[in-house]
Structure 1
Amino acid sequence: MRDWLVHIRRNEHASLQTQIREALVSAILDGQLAREEPIPSTRKMAKSLGVSRNTVVLAYQGLLDDGYLVARERSGYYVSEKAIETAAPPRLAIKPAPVAGGGLDWASRLTMEPANQANVSKPLDWQSYAYPFIYGQVDHTLFPLAEWRDCARQALGKKWLGSWTNDTWAHDDPLLVEQIRRRILPRRGIMAGDDEILVTLGAQNALYLLTSLLVRPGTRVGMEEPGYPDVRNIFRLCTAHVSLLPVDEKGLVPGEEFNSCDVVFTTPSHQFPTTVTMPLERRLELLRRAAKHDVVIIEDDYEFETNYVNEPCPALKSLDDEGRVIYVGSLSKTLFPGLRLGFLVAPKEVVAQARALRRLMVRHAPNNNQRTAALFLSLGHHDTLIRRLHRAYRSRWEIMGEALNRHLPDASRVPSFGGTSFWVKAPEGLDSEELAREAASRGVLIEAGRVTFGAANPPRNFYRLAFSSIDEKKIEPGIRLLAGLVRG
């Protein structure tokens, strides 16, 4: 039997018996008490509330009469098995007295309304769909669970008890920082010191920290169009001056609007969501313009470990001689999104401020997760996983490309970088949101592209197909079914 806590107010307009009854009914109807769950005895309830036992007996009796409770001899009171289906409404349900003045006007008190912004929406039960072409999720069959479990066991052992049980204030796990510096960053051509690396709660946390530090109401921010909607929403919470910079077959176009920005966000390695890779000459042009016009660049290298097609192009950060590029990465894409571990690389004075701000927000990422990830990297499991993912993704990438060419010709371009998704253009006049709803009803899960556009009246005929979490045997049948819906 769980500990039970019921609040009563002796000066309340309703009687004590009524308040006890209403609290139990609410707990049952709200699902806080399960069917067949025992509730405290009348003696225990009376003692905990400081009321007479007779008051509780009368409240329980009313609930027995209405079918909410059942009494079992020598056992006590239990929630009725059919409480929700058959129980009558409370006989004495009385609403709380209205607050003087009509209550708080929360709309006038809130300084921002992020809930009103358009965001990418994904069903939590995506695994129940037959053809889940959903982005950002993992195929559990590819993840080395035994190795991760072993690292977690080591991390939680006595040897490192202090490293994960202590509050380390603003500090990160030194082993994880070392692994990021020695194993991850060199692959992208980046050399950094420990004081230039900050561990974050995923890339999203890094982007919010950087926006908070770099963007004020008058700051001019530029980002790709189409682009990552979450970072656009973060920017718009801080400034009204967000320029949507065009994207072509080489990625972000550094034009006149770029020159007038203070901060620019870009995804050069695998543009979100079009998947195009920015070539070296465009990257160098971006850096030249940034230096000339004093622009700070935030580089989100969100899929830095999924290049399995061509030789990797160096990160924009690796080409930066002035320290004006801030690099953001995430371990969630290769490990699993629920881990929520990312990092940023920036000049040490920026990292120091970001570290202090992070402390005010969340202090630090969970120490046990940091140490587990650090061991996973140091023992070579991460490298093994990357090779496994590359083989699986390469196969799925080829199968999806062939399926799209066969069933939806001229609808998409093959990503030259690899990655985990295709950006698809449907025929003019087709609404991808309606297509997504219809496809979902047939077991095909796709992501409509309209939310990735920040301009008014964006095109509605783009959508994204990801393959990181779908079995390769399901790709072609899923595309074939989707193509039938597109053709009507």
Structure 2
Amino acid sequence: MSELLFHLDPSLPDSLQRQLREQIARAILNGHLPLEQALPSSRKLARDLNVARNTVMLAYEQLLDDGYLIARERSGYFVNPEILKGHAEKPVRLNDIEADRLPWEELLTMHPSRQKTINKPNDWPNYDYPFLYGQIDPELFPTQRWRECSRDSMSVPAIRSWAVDHLNNDDPMLIEQIHQRLLPRRGVWAKPEEILVTVGAQQALWITCMLMLKAGRRFGMENPGYVDVYNTARTFTDDILLLPVDEQGMRLDADIASCELVYATPSHQSPTTVTMPLERRRQLLDMAEIHNFLIIEDDYESETNYLDTPTPALKSLDRHKRVIYVGSLSKTLAPGLRLGYMVGHPTLIREARALRRLMLRHPPTNNQRAVALFLDRGYHDALLRQMHQAYHRRWQLMRDALAHHMPHAALPSTYGGSCFWIKGPEGLDCQKLRRLAAEQSILIECGDIHFFDSPRREYFRLGFSAIADDRIEEGIARLAALIPYATSSA
């Protein structure tokens, strides 16, 4: 503890005793010293800091007198819990030069925290009606099977396989499972050298943008669209072409020809969930070939199609390797697992692998092995069937409840996904509706953050992946009753 927290500088005008006293006091007030653990003995701390024992003893006695410490017989000095309640008799005098005085806003080259992004309460399971998108239902998680795969990934042979330094390589077993089991479900036939494992789809998107974008290069994406992709692209270029969305997904305006890279979510457009038909997909691929641009296909929710067979991935129609395919296990297994993958031309994957190495080398190989076992044993396939049944049922319950309680709301004609994109009445303030709903233990997501040209406050999103069947109808009824209170009169 002493080596980490305290550093005394003889060159400063303050005495070593005073420096130590102030550093200990500051550590106490900042919560860095545990209440139940004794401070180092004066002899040990003096030896660690290379100072006289009397220096430490005097500092301790001052802190004891000031109420920062309490002494316990035969146990030593402990933090006084009362001091954390604001009962200090004397304020701590900080050094004349403080870190907070540094011009951090000028030193930083970017400010990602200023970007508008999706936020969700950490305590969402405590709400009665969590209509949140992207969360999983704990009741659907295959706990026993995941424990089995996690346990087997810790066997001696498995540990010898994943514990060594893999440099920038992935678990070959996981690559094999992605190659032979996941991608063929989407009609994608790729070679192992065309696959890279990533820390979720988010890292795949970041790597692709970092490799492909720079100032002067135009990036095209859907509007409304996925806000994290917009924020990522803005990190590398200010030239972003916003492409409108209709009932068939992203519209292929003539301006798309000026792009170097285009982002699309054909299977279920984010956030509207509409599906791009085959004819438009082929048209997009033809335009990419004619005008020489690349496409990122984010196939984030491909398996949830309830009234028809899933449409093949855009990548499966790609004859010229212009599509960079991004997949993830966040929507099926668990978002907290943070495991995704990207598929592209070997040259792109080679550079993406080298770039990933500079960031984190590779995702943890023990997690990769557990996922590989989960896929190999068919547990993921079984989970998909179970989730498909549960989500289909909830999708029908949501559709019926919305038709009954919000008949005037505009809903896209969709037949898949795990959420509903809703346009409320004119004058609706989705932020006000969200606040009113939270007071009634209802969680919704505002849609205005997904529009990048001008705010559209009448849109909101209702997810159903994490809410129980028997709460859907009542939750929609309660939410519908709040809409008039969040809508201004014309």
Q: Same fold (TM over 0.5)?
A: yes
Task: Answer yes or no: is the 8 Å Cα contact 2:5–2:27 preserved in 1.
Answer: no
Partner of 2:480: 483
Task: Answer yes or no: is the 8 Å Cα contact 1:6–1:23 preserved in 2.
Answer: yes
Per mean C-alpha deviation after superposition, the further-off stretch among 274-283 and 222-231 is 274-283
Question: What percent identity do the matched residue pairs reach?
Answer: 51
**Is 1:178 paired with 2:199?**
no
Partner of 2:456: 459
CA distance in 2, matches of 1:235, 1:89: 52
Where does 1:380-419 land on structure 2 (aligned, <5 Å)?
380-413=378-411, 416-419=414-417
Partner of 2:97: 98
Residue 2 to residue 399, structure 1, CA distance change in 2 (3 Å): farther
Partner of 1:162: 160
Deviation of the 1:450 alpha carbon: 1.1
Partner of 1:470: 467
CA distance in 2, matches of 1:139, 1:415: 25
Task: Answer yes or no: is the 8 Å Cα contact 2:22–2:94 preserved in 1.
Answer: no
Partner of 1:41: 41
Partner of 1:285: 283
- Which amino acid is the alignment partner of residue 232 of structure 1? Y
Task: Answer yes or no: is the 8 Å Cα contact 1:444–1:482 preserved in 2.
Answer: yes
Partner of 1:221: 219
- Which amino acid is the alignment partner of residue 24 of structure 2? L
Size of the alignment, in residue pairs? Answer: 485
Unaligned runs of 5+ in 2: 486-490
- Which amino acid is the alignment partner of residue 289 of structure 2? A
After superposition, the C-alpha distances for 1:46-73 in whole angstroms (9 at most, x for unaligned) are 2222222232222222322333222111
**Is 1:428 paired with 2:433?**
no
CA distance in 2, matches of 1:412, 1:35: 56
Residue 362 to residue 86, structure 1, CA distance change in 2 (3 Å): closer
Deviation of the 1:269 alpha carbon: 0.3
Partner of 2:71: 71
Deviation of the 1:86 alpha carbon: 5.0
Aligned Cα root-mean-square deviation (Å): 2.0
Partner of 1:270: 268
- Which amino acid is the alignment partner of residue 73 of structure 1? E
After superposition, the C-alpha distances for 1:312-364 in whole angstroms (9 at most, x for unaligned) are 10111101111111110001111111111101111111111111111111111
Deviation of the 1:250 alpha carbon: 0.3
After superposition, the C-alpha distances for 1:255-312 in whole angstroms (9 at most, x for unaligned) are 1122222211000000000010111111112122222222211100001232233211
Deviation of the 1:210 alpha carbon: 0.7
- Which amino acid is the alignment partner of residue 246 of structure 2? D
Task: Answer yes or no: is the 8 Å Cα contact 1:226–1:273 preserved in 2.
Answer: yes
Q: Secondary structure at the match of 1:120?
A: coil
Deviation of the 1:11 alpha carbon: 2.0
Partner of 2:330: 332
Deviation of the 1:158 alpha carbon: 0.8
CA distance in 2, matches of 1:177, 1:410: 48
Structure 1 stretches of at least 4 aligned residues deviating more than 6 Å after TM superposition? 1-4
After superposition, the C-alpha distances for 1:1-20 in whole angstroms (9 at most, x for unaligned) are 99864212122233322222
CA distance in 2, matches of 1:372, 1:465: 32
CA distance in 2, matches of 1:325, 1:78: 61
Deviation of the 1:414 alpha carbon: 6.2
Task: Answer yes or no: is the 8 Å Cα contact 2:272–2:412 preserved in 1.
Answer: no
Per mean C-alpha deviation after superposition, the further-off stretch among 470-479 and 82-91 is 82-91
Residue 67 to residue 475, structure 1, CA distance change in 2 (3 Å): farther
Task: Answer yes or no: is the 8 Å Cα contact 1:222–1:244 preserved in 2.
Answer: yes
- Which amino acid is the alignment partner of residue 194 of structure 2? E
CA distance in 1, matches of 2:376, 2:382: 11
Partner of 1:84: 84
Partner of 2:488: none
Q: Secondary structure at the match of 2:56?
A: helix
Pick from 204, 208, 211: which aligns with 1:206?
Answer: 204
Partner of 2:353: 355
Deviation of the 1:178 alpha carbon: 0.7
Task: Answer yes or no: is the 8 Å Cα contact 1:412–1:422 preserved in 2.
Answer: no
After superposition, the C-alpha distances for 1:428-475 in whole angstroms (9 at most, x for unaligned) are 1111122212222322111111111111x3211111111111222222
CA distance in 2, matches of 1:484, 1:387: 35
Per mean C-alpha deviation after superposition, the further-off stretch among 176-185 and 20-29 is 20-29
CA distance in 2, matches of 1:96, 1:279: 65
CA distance in 2, matches of 1:119, 1:94: 39
Residue 108 to residue 414, structure 1, CA distance change in 2 (3 Å): closer
Deviation of the 1:35 alpha carbon: 2.9
- Which amino acid is the alignment partner of residue 473 of structure 2? E
Task: Answer yes or no: is the 8 Å Cα contact 1:270–1:417 preserved in 2.
Answer: no
CA distance in 1, matches of 2:419, 2:202: 20
TM-score by length of 1: 0.95
- Which amino acid is the alignment partner of residue 461 of structure 1? E
Q: Secondary structure at the match of 2:146?
A: helix
Task: Answer yes or no: is the 8 Å Cα contact 1:179–1:378 preserved in 2.
Answer: yes
After superposition, the C-alpha distances for 1:399-423 in whole angstroms (9 at most, x for unaligned) are 1112211221232426634211111
Deviation of the 1:99 alpha carbon: 7.6
CA distance in 1, matches of 2:2, 2:128: 40
Per mean C-alpha deviation after superposition, the further-off stretch among 68-77 and 237-246 is 68-77
Q: Secondary structure at the match of 1:82?
A: helix
- Which amino acid is the alignment partner of residue 15 of structure 1? S
Deviation of the 1:112 alpha carbon: 2.5
CA distance in 1, matches of 2:12, 2:79: 26
Where does 1:370-385 land on structure 2 (aligned, <5 Å)?
370-385=368-383
Residue 99 to residue 447, structure 1, CA distance change in 2 (3 Å): closer
Per mean C-alpha deviation after superposition, the further-off stretch among 63-72 and 149-158 is 63-72
